[in-house]
Structure 1
Amino acid sequence: MTALPRVLWPLLFGNFVIGTGVMAVPGTLNEIGESLAITPAAAGQLISAGAILMCIGAPLCAAFVAGWDRRRLLAYSMVWFAVFHLACAAAPDFGTLLPLRVLALLPPAVFTPQAAACIGLLVPPQQRGRAVTFVFLGWSVASVLGMPLAALVGGTFGWRTVFACVAVLAAIAAAWVWRAMPDGVKPPALSLASWKQTFRSRPLMLCVLVTVLCGAGQFTVFAYFAPYMRQRLGASAAELSAIFLWYGVFGFLGNVLVSRYIERWGVHRAVMVTTGLMGVSMLLLPLGTSIVLMAVVIVPWALGCFSMNSAQQARLIGIAPSLAAGSVALNTSAIYAGQAIGAGGGGWLITHMGMGALGWAAAAWIALAMIASAMATRAAFASAPSPAGA
């Protein structure tokens, strides 16, 4: 198996920093709520509001930055990430923190989709699927190291320290991307006709719908997992960090397995299997009545979470390589749309029905995602005699 180019490593690290920054709030939701004297549902607005910006920003940024050199674009986006996380760390109250957090999450709408979209210019076609999933390993590493460390550091030193650490990591990522990326990497801009073609593609739009539904299912639970663990299991900061670490290890393992075997399994099958694994955990969530049992329950969810996102990106690129810049941006937008829907819906459920309703609602979202995925597979095969990844 031919080795992937070394230029992909700073892109992987950038996704690690992005993932750590995005997941810093769920990991420190208890500390943010206590420090600023707000409820978990109110603190959850930091997740839903930021997700809305990332949802809207991904396709808009894809159009706005179409002609930019990717070395500069990706490096500058990480500088922005660093500056605004420092500003968040200094925010005196929730009213100040909320808009700063929203602005801090503009780079995820840029870096992740644009790093994926430029891979076609950095690797040969036969390595494209593996390269995309490799770069997305950064999110899995963030779940292994970033999220549990955020929970531990936040519980020990406070959430402001976590935001400051993210700022330092973002500065390092900016410097590495600037040094490693070649000049002149400019994926072709999508014309208006290409955008129309993307939106009119039934397979692509069904894939995007799958991402929305999966995100809604996961973030119905994930956005409030820290308060869920504290209220229902009495978890300490150290125990919560250990659970996040456990989740991250299996998330990383799932992404590695998909990255290694996706070309053998096929992208459509990989998406369906990883989505189904997440649904299993949501159904079993009420059985997590202790720290140990909860650790067992979340294993399928962890195996499917990040690997599903990676497989989805490869699926979109395989269905229509010429539309990848638009479809990948829309899929990134869909990830954050799902997060906003899940976090908002989860907050409503906590207020009106309690924590116990989260798992059942999440399972319903995942079931809808599996139905949409089956429809996307049929549409992909119907639209092309030999779709990529079949």
Structure 2
Amino acid sequence: MGWRGVFGCAAVLTAIAAGAAMLMLPKPNGQRAAPPSMAQAVDRYRMVLRNPRSFVCFSIVFLEGLAIYGIMPYIVELLRSRGVGGLREAGFVIGGLGIGGLLYAFVVPLILRFAKRPAMMVAGGTIAAVALATVGLDASWATQMGSMVMLGFGFFLLHNSVQTEVTELAPSARASAFSLHAFSFFMGQAIGPIAYGAGLPMFGATASCAGGAVILAVTGVAASKLLGSPLHRSA
């Protein structure tokens, strides 16, 4: 099939999903959205950014995207260089991240009974850090997949705790807050492969992943300290 075929299949599936959403989702009850206004959009972004906690939230998710998702394009090459797998095994390894997210979804109600957000942030950053450091070790693809499951669990434990804060940065401009949240996260994802691409040839996989692990551990502790106090609303 090749990479073009893979991208083509992804495009077809996306088009099917978009068409199904347009046809099957309920229509608005006669209410028409207001015409877009650039001035209004800028005002809402300013409203969000007036809350000093916004910079903490957006910096954290930027670093998450950089440290965690930056290594993903290099998983297959790491497996090949170690002689423990190729494309198929890389798919299983990366899929472990999603399994970790599902595991988080199943157990988070239990976690919320015993832990508060600050503790969840520290735990999430720590678990993700240990898992990412393990990805940098010379291990079998099955071990790497297990590390990715841990990485996904730790990521969602930290990320969703921060996302809770984002909902209250500016209650009257939640959509704008989430737009900046997503922008920061995906910018981290975009810059991450560049950072790892520079680091892997110079320092190797173990040191590069250890560097990402340090970022995640520090991020979890910083999030706990800076966002652990009661939610502060801007407007």
| TM-score normalised by length of structure 1 | 0.51
Aligned-pair CA distance for 1:306: 4.3
Are 1:207 and 1:372, in contact at CA under 8 Å, matched by a contact in 2?
no
Equivalent in 16, 20, 33 of residue 176 of structure 1: 20
Are 2:122 and 2:221, in contact at CA under 8 Å, matched by a contact in 1?
no
Aligned-pair CA distance for 1:218: 0.7
Question: Between Structure 1 and Structure 2, how many residues are aligned?
Answer: 227
Equivalent in 205, 227, 230 of residue 381 of structure 1: 230
Paired with 2:144 and 2:168, the residues of 1 have a C-alpha distance of: 36
Aligned-pair CA distance for 1:223: 3.0
Paired with 1:285 and 1:194, the residues of 2 have a C-alpha distance of: 40
Match of 2:62 in 1: 212
Relative to structure 1, is the Cα distance of residues 248 and 191 closer, same or farther in structure 2, using a 3 angstrom cutoff? closer
Relative to structure 1, is the Cα distance of residues 284 and 234 closer, same or farther in structure 2, using a 3 angstrom cutoff? closer
Aligned-pair CA distance for 1:303: 1.2
Aligned-pair CA distance for 1:311: 4.0
- Give, as a single letter, the amino acid of the residue that structure 2 aligns with 1:164: G
- Give, as a single letter, the amino acid of the residue that structure 1 aligns with 2:143: L
- Give, as a single letter, the amino acid of the residue that structure 2 aligns with 1:349: G
Does residue 283 (structure 1) correspond to residue 139 (structure 2)? The answer is no
Relative to structure 1, is the Cα distance of residues 261 and 173 closer, same or farther in structure 2, using a 3 angstrom cutoff? farther
Are 1:209 and 1:369, in contact at CA under 8 Å, matched by a contact in 2?
no
Identity of aligned residues (%): 22
**Structure 2 matches for 1:202-241, cutoff 5 A?**
202-241=52-91
Equivalent in 145, 160, 167 of residue 11 of structure 2: 167
Paired with 2:119 and 2:184, the residues of 1 have a C-alpha distance of: 20
Relative to structure 1, is the Cα distance of residues 228 and 255 closer, same or farther in structure 2, using a 3 angstrom cutoff? farther
Relative to structure 1, is the Cα distance of residues 325 and 293 closer, same or farther in structure 2, using a 3 angstrom cutoff? same
For CA contacts below 8 A with separation 6 or more, give which structure has more relative contact order: 2
Match of 2:194 in 1: 344
Residues 318-373 of structure 1: CA distance to partner in whole angstroms, max 9, x if unpaired? 34322211211111011112112311110101232233332112112213312331
Paired with 1:238 and 1:288, the residues of 2 have a C-alpha distance of: 18
Secondary structure, counterpart of 1:182 in structure 2? coil
Equivalent in 309, 322, 328 of residue 172 of structure 2: 322
Are 1:282 and 1:360, in contact at CA under 8 Å, matched by a contact in 2?
yes
Secondary structure, counterpart of 2:139 in structure 1? coil
**Structure 2 matches for 1:59-208, cutoff 5 A?**
157-179=1-23, 180-183=25-28, 184=31, 186=33, 190=40, 192-208=42-58
Secondary structure, counterpart of 1:303 in structure 2? helix
Match of 1:18 in 2: none
Paired with 1:181 and 1:171, the residues of 2 have a C-alpha distance of: 19
